[in-house]
Amino acid sequence: MADIPFDKRDGYIWFNGELMPWSDAKVHVLTHGMHYASSVFEGCRAYGGEIFKLHEHSQRLVDSARILGFEIPYTVDEIDEACRAELAAQKLEDAYIRPVAWRGSEMMGVSAQKNRINLAVAAWEWPSYFDPEQRQKGIRLDIAEYRRPSPETAPSDAKAAGLYMICTISKHAAEDKGYADALMYDYRGYVAEATGANVFFIKDGVIHTPIPDCFLDGITRRTVIDLAKARGIEVIERHILPEEMKDFSECFITGTAAEVTPVGEIGPYKFTPGEISANLYKDYMALVYAHQEKAKVANG
């Protein structure tokens, strides 16, 4: 399945209020979202048939669209239902769900006030974002050439398609060198995030993580911070200079796709996946499957 191009797959896609055959879900080449990046998206995961923190993802999609200056013509609850309908139509239990909203093709140019706002939801199997063998020993990250821009120059609070251009460039460059991903600095030179995941460091039993003031405060990021605090682990959110990475013992990244993934190397800096990273991964997986355990108890 992984080798099949996405436009050649079978099943259904929820598209502007209806489920349609996967191959029929198409947009015109002069779609504004493709030319001018007037598009926002989300990434959710389903575990055992339940989409984890779905409502938070749907709310962020709506908020992202508003930051880009358009209103999605569906409520947050309706987007939730669209995601569930798509998951059921695909007959998947464990899956990745991608809601996306964009300006259509009614007007072509920077100005596009009259363009239709479209919404689609797709779902597919996506077992692991990183190679399982690399993940077990800690993935390797390059240091990206491009930096996360200032919130005065780009809408950093939105999960907007245009903001991921430099992520794709950076991830491709890293993979060409044999790395799994890249770490990005921000416009001031502080440590920011990986191309699609937030980053955490550990020193003397304390977790340190960058302040998300020019990149997304990830839903998984917030979840893992809560899990760490529930274990009594101190979490410090602060600006982190690149040279500080030499003093940290552990490192891991978090994201819907990445979940909780240990890091063994960032450029010249080395880390050893340890107990805190392992425990938070276990806690996170227990949380995303908690509904199954509740169902088992309820059913005796």
Q: Which residues are catalytic?
A: 159
Rg (CA), the chain: 20
Cα separation, 6 vs 13, whole angstroms: 12
What is the full DSSP assignment across 1-28? -TTS-GGG--SEEEETTEEEEGGG----
Cα separation, 95 vs 218, whole angstroms: 19
Q: Is 101 helix (H, G, I), strand (E, B) or coil?
A: strand
Q: How many CB atoms lie within 10 A of CB 296?
A: 9
**Closest to 75 (Cα-Cα) out of 104, 47, 101, 38:** 101
Helices (H), 95-234: 132-137, 165-176, 219-230
52 HSE (CA, 13 A, CB side) = 25
